[in-house]
Amino acid sequence: MNVRRFTAPVIGDALAMVRRTLGEDAVILRTRKVRRGGLLSFLSRELVEVTAASPDHKPLPCSQVTDRAAQLKRGLESVPAAGLVQDLREEISDLKGHVRELAEQVKFERMPSLPERLAERYKDMVRSGVEEHIAKELAQELNLRFKGEQLEEGELVDRELVGMLAARIPVRRPPPTAGKRSRIIALIGPTGVGKTTTLAKLVTSYRYWGRNDTALVSADTYRVAAIEQLKTFASIAGLPIETVYQPTAMRNVLNRHAQRDAIFIDTAGRSQADAEKLDELAAFLEAAQPDELLLCLSVSTRLEDQLDIIERYRRLKPTGIVFTKLDEGRGPGMIVSALENCSLPATYLTCGQNVPDDILTANPRKLAELILNPDGLSELQRTHFEEWIAAESRAEPSEEAVG
């Protein structure tokens, strides 16, 4: 497989260059926008770069990548000191790009033999973050259910795959009321996943808990900034907030707000590898006895790390997962893989920093459609999911749990 990169002002010109150079059987590996020319950034032009490969040639041996690195090392002494840093950056960038392209070749050389349309959707699933074995299982199942000519019908393939992917995304939204007593909802998770901001979105958004009588409790006594951030949100929203420094004080605080619809508890971020800190968190949760314990995970976190977090936080008995930073991830496919490896449902998704807007109900079909449409995800990320949020705002949220 011969991998080449082509740059042109518009995508149509770049694709024409691909066909002329590599032929009609060329496979598009990646497209992106780049800037070229000009001494300053505002004088440069925005171009489209297409990385494509021809299956008619053998893949570039990995040894050439090693040789290139060796050449770079030998040539450093001959480069003038003034230009050393810039030249080194460019060389390393090119080398990394080539390694990524080789990785793409290896990945898709293991792809099962499938009809063209189904093969493209298999690639979309893998690129969106679905584990290869899951993508292969779905594609092969669909390949066995329909005849060859049927699998060339784009609408049929997409419709069936959306349904199959959606079936693998269990979701549940915590009900907005708890009857005669306050509903206690606590958020947990590693540092930096956005627990405090997620909590603020939930309690202030009218699509969720914004119409209810709620109170906030901060048990994150390790970060002064987190307490101040939550106090700011509470002040703007006109909500009462209290800080709990010891587990023994938790029950008294909750009792003071027992007549409210819900009490939200913000907790300190804890590394899944720090057993001692997880023990401290467990003591706060034992005192609170929350009805809902939502584990926050970032979509931009590697799947291996997510699975490790889920496994180590399992001892705290979370009831659902909030997937944060959908606006930063390469795709929502890892949600399928994460949920495949645990017995928890997805509850909410967050997609930006704006409070209270950038939060969504986990919707299996919409997530499945995004997995099969990486270009559509890029557009939603650019607009911070405005279209999805607007559609959800027009629909009156159900008070029943989903899934």
Q: Which tens digit of pLDDT belongs to each residue from 336-360?
A: 999 988 889 999 999 888 888 889 9
How far apart, in whole angstroms, are the C-alpha atoms of residue 267 and residue 190? 10
Check residue 253 and report its DSSP letter.
H
pLDDT at residue 321, as a whole number: 96
Rounded to whole angstroms, how far apart are CA atoms 361 and 256? 30
Q: Taking Cα atoms as reference points, which of 240, 236, 190, 192 lies closest to residue 218?
A: 240
Under DSSP, the state recorded for 171 is B
Give the rounded distance of the alpha carbon of 166 from its chain centre.
Answer: 16
Residue 304 has what DSSP assignment? Answer: H
Please state, in angstroms and rounded to a whole number, the distance separating the CA atoms of residues 359 and 396: 15
Does the structure show a pLDDT above 50 at 240?
yes
Mean pLDDT of the chain: 81
Collapsing DSSP to helix, strand or coil, 316 comes out as helix
Amino acid identity of 367? L
Report the pLDDT averaged over residues 254-281: 88
In degrees rounded to 5, what are phi and psi of residue 292?
-130, 130
**Which H or E run includes 185?**
strand 183-188
3-state helix, strand, coil in the chain (%, to 5): 50, 15, 35
Residue 399 has pLDDT above 50, yes or no: no
Does the pLDDT value for residue 39 go beyond 50? no
- pLDDT tens for residues 55-107? 654 555 555 656 666 666 666 555 555 555 665 666 676 666 656 555 544 44
Confidence band for 288, pLDDT divided at 50, 70 and 90? very high
Number of H helices, E strands in the chain: 15, 11
pLDDT of residue 37: 61
Task: Specify the pLDDT at position 87.
Answer: 59
Whether 328 contacts 297, CB under 8 Å: no
- pLDDT for res 69: 62
The confidence band for 248, taking pLDDT boundaries of 50, 70 and 90, is very high
Is the pLDDT assigned to residue 367 strictly greater than 80? yes
Beta-strand runs (E) in 302-350: 320-324, 346-350
In DSSP terms, 216 is beta-bridged to: 241, 264
CA pair distance 288, 183, nearest whole angstrom: 11
Q: What pTM was computed for the model?
A: 0.69
The winner for highest mean pLDDT among 38-52, 214-228, 315-329 is 315-329
- pLDDT, tens digit, for every residue of 293-320? 999 999 989 999 999 999 999 999 999 9
Q: What is the pLDDT of residue 109?
A: 47
Could you tell me which residues are beta bridge partners of residue 343?
none
Q: 271 near 190, Cβ under 8 Å? A: yes
Pick from 272, 345, 280, 271: which is nearest to 308 by CA? 272
Q: 38: which 2 tokens?
A: 């000009």
The two beta strands, 241-243 and 45-54, are unpaired
For residue range 128-171, what is the model confidence (pLDDT) as tens digits?
999 999 999 999 899 888 877 788 777 888 999 999 999 999 99
CA dist., res. 329 & res. 403, Å (int)? 25
Q: Which amino acid does the sequence have at 144? A: L
pLDDT of 287 strictly over 70: yes
Q: Poorest-confidence range of 217-226, 255-264, 322-331?
A: 217-226
Amino acid at site 173: R
User: Would you say 114 and 122 are in contact if contact means Cβ atoms under 8 Å apart?
Assistant: yes
Q: What does the pLDDT read at residue 88?
A: 63
Among positive and negative, which fits the CA dihedral 14, 20, 24, 30?
negative
Question: What is the C-alpha separation between 393 and 230, in angstroms, rounded?
Answer: 25
**H/E segment holding residue 72:** helix 62-75
